[in-house]
Amino acid sequence: MATTPPLPADVLAWNKARHAFANSILVETPLASLAQDLDVPPWPIVSPDETPAAYIYLPYAQALAALGVRGLPPEQLQNLITLLNDTNAFDQPFGDMLDDLAVSADGADDPASPLFKNLAKLGLPEDFPLALSALSAGTLALCQNENIRTLGGFVTFSTRLSQSVIIGGDFRELLNALAQKDETSLAKLLPLRAGYPGLYLPETIALSVRALSAPARTALLQNPATLPAELRNRTAHAVAYFSAAHADMCTAISAGAPPARLVADIPDHTLHALVLELLRPHLPTPPAPPATPAKRSFFRRLFGLK
Q: CB of 221 within 8 A of CB of 274?
A: yes
Please provide the DSSP assignment of 204-253 as one string: HHHHHHHTS-HHHHHHHHH-GGG--HHHHHHHHHHHHHTHHHHHHHHHHH
The CA distance from 2 to 77, in Å, is 31
pLDDT tens-digit map of 205-258: 999 999 898 899 999 999 999 999 999 999 999 999 999 999 999 999 999 999
- Name the residue among 66, 22, 20 with its Cα closest to residue 45: 66
- The one-character DSSP state at 118 is H
- The one-character DSSP state at 124 is -
Instruction: Give the DSSP H/E element, type plus range, for residue 56.
Output: none
**pTM of this prediction exceeds 0.75:** no
pLDDT tens-digit map of 62-111: 999 999 999 999 999 999 999 998 887 755 545 555 555 554 334 445 55
Q: CB of 126 within 8 A of CB of 109?
A: no
The CA distance from 190 to 264, in Å, is 18
The CA distance from 210 to 207, in Å, is 5
More confident residue, 273 or 111: 273
Instruction: Give the DSSP H/E element, type plus range, for residue 126.
Output: none
Query: Of the ranges 19-33, 121-135, 178-192, 270-284, which one carries the lowest mean pLDDT score?
Result: 19-33
| Angle between helix 137-145 and helix 151-158 axes, rounded to 10 deg | 70
Confidence of residue 36 (pLDDT cuts 50, 70, 90): confident
Distance in Å from the first CA to the final CA of the chain: 122
